Amino acid sequence: MKQPYSIVDIETTGSGIRGNRITEIAIFRMENGQVAEEFTSLVNPGCEIPHYITALTGIDTAMLRDAPSLGEIAPEIIRITSGSIFVAHSVNFDYHVIRNEFRDLGLEFNRKRLCTVRLSRRMFPGLRSYSLGKLCSSLDIPLTDRHRARGDARATVSLFLKILGSEGAGPVIAHFLNARSQEATLPPGLPRAVYERLPAEPGVYFFKNARGEAIYVGKAKNIKKRVLSHFYDKADKEVQMCRETTHIDFERSGSELLALLMESAAIKRLFPLYNRSQKRKNPAYAIFSYEDRRGIRHLAFNRAKGAPSPLARFYTITDCRLFLEQWCRDYGLCPKYCHLQEQPGACNHFRITGCGGICRGAESVAEYNRKVAEAIAAIRREHRHLIIREKGRDANESAIVLVKDGKYCGYGFIEKDAPIPGIEDALAFIRPQQNTLETERLLESYCIRHPGNTIQLGEAGV
């Protein structure tokens, strides 16, 4: 006996997966190439139906008042799909909505699944669209009662029969059912070959829709692994984004820093629909100096707006603290008078032990202030011109990031053993980029955490 299939379609209260409720379900069980049983029912979701859903499906709240709840028909759904393969058009939507609703009822629902969108792309290549309506038009499949569960499920049955009758369908279906193939995980509109060519390396990636528009830009240490994680994420935004994705481009970076800078530039240039984090303004923090009543000069940090004559700007409090900790170590400053600890009495910072004793009367105010002045002078010189050297895209290459007059100029790639050039020579290798608050934040944080990769640069180089 051939493997039985359950062709399923549902209508719901929304477009996401989490929190979405079923309003109608239709199931056609196929055995030996024929429909053996059918189950169709409206479902009372226990909530109001949004107007836009009623406009699309014709299902309104009044229609569902006397319909059974999902809990009442769950045993029938389990019975009719038992031992069969779950088949649907864009299967991950229908399958995961049902699975989540069953989970809320305390029931398990686990079935192998097949997607007729992905199968159609493989068996009927070259069509302009693989939406159910366009497929039915292209393949002369009758489609009535569109956007109702029974009408769409009935059309999907006819589509699936055409797939089964196509030459080479058996091996293709066997491949799709192989758990290692990940076919049930990939977005319905994304060709597997596009996913397979993604590298397991650092870089940026671009999710694109059917019009070739970038709808999301991301960065990763491992592009292929990170892209796959989007497909497993069932948050509404991720599900909708993946359903719209038909192509993925990428650019290798060699390192996470370059990937971060490339991602930031791409988001500012493309302003993709599903990117949100860098559309928000991050508050800046600043380090500043002041003198107390005893004449002791302090180094402190606060929001940049409230900091008088800022000496350096950062974008997290953590980076401010790390920076001040480093200057305490380098110049023998006191953690208490750098506002790294606020308790009365002498300092006792667990990472900083080089305080000269200003906090316990063992050092003169004049001597301590001299060290603070030296540190401030160094802060003002710091990062005027510098090059960051990072991993390249292969073993024979290095990446460089150029900062001139404290402003990010861009990045480029040079031979691994090439000497560090001067500023004018470096510009020949650099892809010019815009200095933004985001790039300042990235580079300030990087320089604090990786001082060994940062080289101070004069006009003539080093």
360-412, pLDDT tens digit by residue? Answer: 899 999 999 999 999 888 876 655 678 899 999 999 999 999 988 778 899 99
3-state helix/strand/coil string of the chain: CCCCEEEEEEEECCCCCCCCCEEEEEEEEEECCEEEEEEEEECCCCCCCCHHHHHHHCCCHHHHCCCCCHHHHHHHHHHHHCCCEEEECCHHHHHHHHHHHHHHCCCCCCCCEEEHHHHHHHHCCCCCCCCHHHHHHHCCCCCCCCCCHHHHHHHHHHHHHHHHCCCCHHHHHHHHHCHHHCCCCCCCCCCHHHHHCCCCCCEEEEEECCCCCEEEEEEECCHHHHHHHHHHCCCHHHHHHHHHCCEEEEEECCCHHHHHHHHHHHHHHHCCCCCCHHHCCCCCEEEEEEECCCCCEEEEEEEHHHCCCCCEEECCHHHHHHHHHHHHHHHCCCCCCCCCCCCCCCCCCCCCCCCCCHHHCCCCHHHHHHHHHHHHHHHHHCCCEEEEEEECCCCCEEEEEEEECCEEEEEEEEECCCCCCCHHHHHCCCEECCCCHHHHHHHHHHHHHCHHHEEECCCCCC
Enumerate the CATH 3.40.1440.10 domain ranges in the chain, comma separated.
192-279
Residues 6+ apart with CB under 8 A from 318: none
Mean pLDDT computed over every residue of the chain: 89
Question: Which residue ranges does the chain devote to CATH 3.30.420.10?
Answer: 5-181
pLDDT tens digit sequence for 198-224: 999 999 999 999 999 999 999 999 999
The region of weakest confidence among 99-108, 369-378, 419-428, 446-455 is 419-428
The two three-digit tokens of residue 445, written as one number: 């944080």
- Give pLDDT, residue 421: 60
- CA–CA gap between residue 49 and residue 64 (Å, rounded): 9
Does 423 score more than 90 pLDDT? no
* More confident: 229 or 178: 229
The pTM (predicted TM-score) of the whole model is 0.67
Distances (CA, A) of 195 to 115, 248, 437: 17, 7, 33
**Cα(407)–Cα(412) distance, integer angstroms:** 16
Biggest alpha carbon–alpha carbon distance for the chain: 95
Q: Judge whether 349 counts as a catalytic residue.
A: no
**Pairwise CA distance, residues 409 & 401, whole Å:** 8
With a pLDDT cut of 90, the percent of the chain lying above it is 62
Instruction: State the catalytic residue, choosing from 51, 89, 96, 147.
Output: 147
Which pLDDT does position 381 carry in this prediction? Answer: 64
- Both ends of the chain: CA-CA distance in Å? 77
Q: Which CATH number fits domain 5-181: 3.30.420.10, 1.10.260.40, 3.20.20.10, 3.100.10.20?
A: 3.30.420.10
For position 317, what pLDDT does the model report?
A: 86
Query: Is a pLDDT exceeding 80 seen at residue 103?
Result: yes
CATH 3.40.1440.10 fits 192-279, yes or no: yes
